[in-house]
Chain A
Amino acid sequence: NAGVTQTPKFQVLKTGQSMTLQCAQDMNHNSMYWYRQDPGMGLRLIYYSASEGTTDKGEVPNGYNVSRLNKREFSLRLESAAPSQTSVYFCASSASSGSLEQYFGPGTRLTVT
């Protein structure tokens, strides 16, 4: 039982490049989330998916797109990376969008130069 897995663990991009961050959970959870964590800013919600087939914007969605590929997988895409997107990205899941407990993955450390 791996919980929430994320790939890659580290990535360096040049400004303007694109990439997709992958996330998968094996807990049969309905809801999945993408956060970014920056010093002094805490965890900020980028996008979330309350259930398979639905996605909604969070607090800081600009510059990102998401795909809920199936119940297990939720990907985050940066179409044209900018230095302001340098951050640690966490994927999380919960049984439902009304659940208190979110289970987090290990994170992806992204640097955009």
Chain B
Amino acid sequence: QKEVEQDPGPLSVPEGAIVSLNCTYSNSAFQYFMWYRQYSRKGPELLMYTYSSGNKEDGRFTAQVDKSSKYISLFIRDSQPSDSATYLCAMYTGGYQKVTFGTGTKLQVIP
């Protein structure tokens, strides 16, 4: 079993829809939870991160962590065609440990 599981999609939604992207994980030591966005043929870039449980909002994006269920989500409100990309979740225990990435979910927002 992988430490981090993520549905690869693809997920197609109409412009303006609310998008929900999710990851599950097995390592209860993970403390930091990140979402990276990767446009086609580009490197990933950090979108936002959350420490421990709870929600964090940044514009149209909300990251949610439920440590009791080992489940994290990224919500995108009023989705735009420019949001079309692959979204990778990433997790980290802290200290000088490596980051573990999910496989990514490909999102397409149709105008």
Chain A residues packing against B (C-beta within 8 Å): 4, 40-45, 48, 50, 58-59, 90, 92, 97-98, 100-107
Contact = CB atoms under 8 A, between A and B. Distances in A.
B98 A48 contact: yes
Interface of B: 4, 6, 8, 32, 34, 41-46, 49, 88, 92, 94-96, 98-99, 101-104
Given A42-B101, A43-B88, A43-B101, A104 B44 contact: yes
Contacts of B4: 42
Contacts of B44: 43, 90, 104
Contacts of B101: 42-44
Q: Is the interface of A mostly helix, strand, loop or mixed?
A: loop
A40 B8 contact: yes
A97 B92 CA distance: 11
B98 A45 contact: yes
A104 B102 contact: no
Contacts of B95: 98
Nearest to B6: A42
A98 B43 CA distance: 20
Contacts of A41: 103
B18 to A, nearest CB: 25
